[in-house]
Amino acid sequence: MWQKRALALIILIIGAGLGYFLYHTQVTGSRPFKLGLDLSGGTQLVYRADLSDIQAADTVDSMAALRDTIERRVNLFGVAEPIVQTETSSVLSGTSEQRLIVELPGVTDTQKAIALIGQTPVLEFRMLKAGASVPTDNATSSINAAFEPATLTGKDLTSAQLQFQGTTGALNQPVVVLTFNAEGARLFADLTKNNVGRYFGIFLDGAPISVPVIQEAIPDGTAVISGNFTAEGAKELARNLNEGALPVPITLISTQTISGTLGEQAVQSGIYAGLFGIGAVVLFMLLWYRLPGILAGVALSLYIVVMLSLFNLIPVTLTAAGIAAFILSIGMAVDANILIFERTKEELRSGKGAQEAIREGFHRAWPSIRDSNISSMITAVILFWFGSSIIQGFALVFGLGVLVSMLTAISVSRTFLLALGIDGTSRFTHFLLGSGVRS
């Protein structure tokens, strides 16, 4: 008995501690909850990366370089906490494609968001095919017919610099000097060594900006672009390349924009719905189950602070669907309590003392609680796997809810009910542990 009471006290202290942690972090704003785009407002853009010119072995590298480039570019524009990630299409989509997902919280103008990403140039290197001549027009078809991808790609670029080069008899000509990383330098050295006399094209956004003839091997890992630049044009190109050039072309395939006001409303109504939901469930439990109902209320409060702390600490990105799952889980969390209380009542009716009835009630309710929670977990796991980000938010909260509620119901309610130390078979005991309109 005293052991149970000490345990109950410890549980209460932990609960109060978590409650204080939540209160403190939210009031001071030191650890805000992570809100998904649908709650914070913002834009999500999904791009398909065109990897047709990239060898399969380089896919992962190229996608990583692509992500880094876009991330740099987005950070440059001062978007708070952007998320840039890559994704491989599921086998179920019927096609295999590499995607880039960009989330921009706070950017609620789709056009602006697209422009922000769209200014990033695509840098490619191609070789003129043997026997082909440099096309005179810039049509994609004639370019594709004449050029083939070079081993060197845009991801190997480390920096670009504006310089002025003067050759005898010419004025100082603005050029852009490209510097490659170690890998790029090696590739470029090999490429130039093996292809002396061939044309080497430097392409920006699919258009050739410079197609020089390789004169000799270049071992030092730099290439010079000497198109017919103005000083201004060369400077802009160098800046764009430095801010990051895309190693592969990307195409916009999906967008989603949610305004800040809509997100704010969703958060507001989500909080209200949560409060009303908790209140209504606690009231119901109290009216129907009396004393155990109060304990179910305590267990539910504990469930809520544990869940919110988990959301905050893991952290779980909250979405409207996630909030819905949380509110739904409040209703489900008391299920284990209901099973236990109903069972306890039956044991009481069969003439057992309160302590024994409580123990027996828990014991007998356990298989049902276990089985029914397993079926909910199955759904949660499959939903998580199935999910787009909206559904995953729902599944994660739902699955967590099932686990935590099982924990609070079987350990907490039980400890508290036993710690109260009600015993005997008096009418008062029956009233306290009874339910409904009659005892």
Residues between 322 and 381 with contacts to other proteins, criterion CB under 8 A: 323-324, 327-328, 330-332, 334-335, 338-339, 342, 346, 364, 367-368, 371-376, 378-380
CA distance 283 to 286: 5
Query: Long-range contacts for 431-435 (Cβ within 8 Å, ≥24 apart)?
Result: 431/290, 432/290, 432/291, 433/290, 433/291, 433/292, 433/341, 433/344, 433/345, 433/348, 433/354, 433/357, 434/290, 434/345, 434/348, 435/288, 435/289, 435/290, 435/341, 435/342, 435/345
User: Smallest distance from the beta carbon of 289 to other proteins, in angstroms?
Assistant: 9
- Classify 71 as helix, strand or coil: helix
- Residue number with CB closer to other proteins (13 or 381): 381
User: Smallest distance from the beta carbon of 130 to other proteins, in angstroms?
Assistant: 36
CA distance 196 to 325: 64
**237 to 276: interface string for other proteins, x by CB under 8 A:** ----------------xxxxxxx-xx--xxx-xx-xx--x
State the number of binding residues for other proteins (CB under 8 A).
76
Residue 383 in the binding site for other proteins (CB under 8 A): yes
- Residue number with CB closer to other proteins (34 or 198): 34
CA distance 204 to 122: 5
User: Smallest distance from the beta carbon of 247 to other proteins, in angstroms?
Assistant: 22
Q: Which of residues 86-105 bind other proteins (CB under 8 A)?
A: 89-90, 92-95, 97
Q: Which of residues 163-182 bind other proteins (CB under 8 A)?
A: none
- Residue number with CB closer to other proteins (188 or 341): 341
- Residue number with CB closer to other proteins (118 or 315): 118
User: Smallest distance from the beta carbon of 429 to other proteins, in angstroms?
Assistant: 20
- The dihedrals phi and psi of 204, each to the nearest 5 degrees, come to -120, 125
User: Smallest distance from the beta carbon of 240 to other proteins, in angstroms?
Assistant: 20
- Residue number with CB closer to other proteins (239 or 363): 363
- Where on the phi/psi map is residue 277: left (φ > 0), alpha (ψ -120 to 50), or beta? alpha
CA distance 86 to 97: 11
Tokens of 111: 């056009």
User: Smallest distance from the beta carbon of 255 to other proteins, in angstroms?
Assistant: 4
- Classify 331 as helix, strand or coil: helix
User: Smallest distance from the beta carbon of 205 to other proteins, in angstroms?
Assistant: 14
User: Smallest distance from the beta carbon of 307 to other proteins, in angstroms?
Assistant: 14
Residue 69's DSSP bridge partners are none
- The residue from 12, 134, 390, 403 that contacts other proteins (CB under 8 A) is 390
3-state per-residue secondary structure call for 123-188: EEEEEECCCCCCCCCCCHHHHHHHEEECCCCHHHEEEEEEEEECCCCCCCEEEEEEEECHHHHHHH
Tell me which amino acid residue 70 is: I
Residue 394 in the binding site for other proteins (CB under 8 A): yes
CA distance 365 to 373: 12
Q: Which of residues 30-59 bind other proteins (CB under 8 A)?
A: 38, 46, 48
- The dihedrals phi and psi of 399, each to the nearest 5 degrees, come to -65, -45
- Residue number with CB closer to other proteins (23 or 386): 386
- Residue number with CB closer to other proteins (7 or 324): 324
- Residue number with CB closer to other proteins (52 or 133): 52
